[in-house]
Structure 1
Amino acid sequence: MTLLYTVLAFVLALGPLIVIHELGHYLVARACGVKVLRFSIGMGRVVWSRRFGRDQTEWALSLLPLGGYVKFLDSRDPNAGPIDDKELAREFTRQNVWKRIAIVAAGPLANFLLAIGLMAALFMHGVDEPSARLRTVAEASDAWRAGVRGGETVVAVNGSAVRSWSELRWQIMHAAVDKTDVTLALRAEGGGAYSAVLPASVIGQLDVDSDVMTTLGLDLWRPQPRIEKVIADGAGQRAGLRDGDLVLRLDGQPVVDGIAFIEAVRAAPGRALQVEVRRAGGPATLILTPDTDANGRGVIKAMVAQAPEMVTVWSGPFEAVARGFDRTWETSVMTLKMIGKMITGEASWKNVTGPITIADYAGQTARIGLVSYLQFIAFISISLGVMNLLPIPVLDGGHLLYYSLEVLTGRPVSVRVVEFAQRAGVGLLFMLMALAVFNDLGRLL
């Protein structure tokens, strides 16, 4: 059932994105007067089709679910046969170069517009996310050396306002890619404001493939640990812990949050710990002796609250659209920068992911909830738009490159050059797909 759920989430995410992309080509082609012969979801042999409209355009499902295509009336097609003189004006290659550019660019543009619309809708709805409040910082960390102590809330990074943990992480990732300083505007628990600077010498050394926040020593703030449920026949029950107990101190030392409490328990198998708690009847001091699990760690059989502080990120209609545009633009630029770093060797080629990883993430986000799933779809839509704009022959970006050269030189690229480039582009795409599947299988194993 889990596999079926993942596959279904993948199909429901990717299928509409392909349709939207191809609809972009189709609608602009029709607006430019080009005759559309076929609109196909999938590649290869057609397995189902119906014809509609004045032009009897064939709407088809094809065997290989690896994308889709829109087939225009095109004199270069060896299977097209002779074209009626009345139809010549609607033939693709006879359109001026700007119309051809518009038709080809419409597919990626449709993906970007969809992402902007999804993000704007989510911002207007309101998205619950962990806040940008920081956990107590370890003294050996880069964040501590920059002046961060914990308990503060980050309100801006390099002058850009942040309202949630994901926005904070996004801004730091940008700085890591650009290798620039990070200036954190902080609001202290008491209401005071100050700033902390993480220098470019530190940020530039971050591995963008890893958890950059943990590397810097930054983590989510969480409330003091509260016992949600004490499980029968465990060390917690024997010690007298109760549901709802708020853990204050452990061996006389304040307990920062649920994670700190769990780490302390795991590090003390078989050792008596003095636990101070606050409960409905008043404070209590208990002696807790964790049992030892199969891995030699302490365990008390109790569920401890670890949820971070949450905020609702919400925007009005106009701000939501602006934020959707900004996020789409920033994600596109970040994707291109990461591709550039992979080419120059500054980032690992393990970042190239394929359908298996995408399907896995689709299933995970769908299980979390509709908001997470729509955020995932928006991100994939952006990725689809960016990848199609890369100047690789057979992709939209390759055709845009041909037409750009035509604008500059005043004549179309020769058929021989295009044919050679197409074959090279197909080979490159197969190599990238093989790498993506290899990386996917490596992650699974």
Structure 2
Amino acid sequence: MGSPTRNGVAVQRNASGADPLASPEYFRDPYPLLAAVRSGGPVQRIRTGNGRTTWLVTGWAEARAALADARLSKDTARYFADRPSNRNLAPAVSRTLLATDPPDHGRLRKLAMTAFTPAAVARLEPRIRVLAGELADALAERAEADLVEGFAVPLPIAVISELLGIPEPDRAAVRRWSDELFAAAAPDTVDRASHALSGYLTRLIADRRAAPGDDVLSGLIAARDDGDRLSEPELVSLAALLVVAGHETTANLIGNGMVTLLRDDALRARLRADLALLPAAVEEFLRHDGPLTVATFRYATEPLVLGGATIAAGDVVQVAPGAANRDPARFDAPDSVRLGRAGGHLSFGHGPHHCLGAALARVEARIAFEVLLTRWTDIRPAGHGPDAVEWRRTRLMRGPARLPVTFVP
């Protein structure tokens, strides 16, 4: 890579000037590439696919600071207000809770968070265990199966769909639209998926308003805070965020964790022998190979200095939790899996935008690994093994597209 500089900071790019986060190497294994970028400094400027540039934050301390810095705005509507764009994302997808700043962000989050308190999540645990058991029973009928298609995706899809009251026949379409939103696909494909999901959720909300049920969506429709309630666009956007984030993160956490376990016979046996280690294992899986490689973008509302980089007002900044979680300045032997590390991973973010569903994701993952490790005598990679995993082609999220396994009865 060449390294022309701006304000004394290296501008990382490959020989062709192409987007390094869209390379085959990145989709296969982003960590060597992210480590190479971090070796030039914790905050580096890189090329993006649209010919523009973005600041990529790869150091742990700098990433944690950026995630809580009010000068780095998430208000994408304000950012694009005076910038021409040929994109046609549905507002419900482009203007979610993730894309708002205080005070609106705090108001929306307070109205939504009652469904995801630790007590609310604890009440869901028995149902999650039933759903995981049913999926495992279906897998038990086969000698070989794809864990992604047969377990890692359907479990969180079923959980979030039941929470929101999405009928079972509609869940395949909802999953497809969600996949297309994150895939490294043509922009018009992403835009169409955003409108399809938005239209579906608008109709579902109308149905729930006419006939409320015992689900989170009905609760959000009725939610009030000092006389305030969610507007119709806010309801649709929050539902879209819960649908997409509510299963994407967990599905990839389960998939990535199982890749790690299939590569490590001793760790698999250790966890099977002592299930009390599973919470620690979930935290280490989140750190070592978490579901979120690069967070959605922020932009500077005023000039600032971060990690030695002078960032101008209006510059786009992207935090890379996947890189920060393997920063050797924070974690010893960061590429190794070690249970019982001190906390501090950034897979669920930090600050005001800390993941609303983090507690739910942790519970789902813990139950998923427990079921998968104890339902059979052992579970082993099929085909070419876990080192030949086909990974999803997405810049932000990381997870296997397929994970063939065999079961030892």
Indicate whether the TM-score tops 0.5. no
Greater RCO (Cα-Cα under 8 Å, separation 6 or more): 2
TM-score by length of 2: 0.26
TM-score by length of 1: 0.24
User: Computing the radius of gyration over CA atoms, which structure comes out larger, 1 or 2?
Assistant: 1
Please state which structure has a larger fraction of its residues in helix. Answer: 2
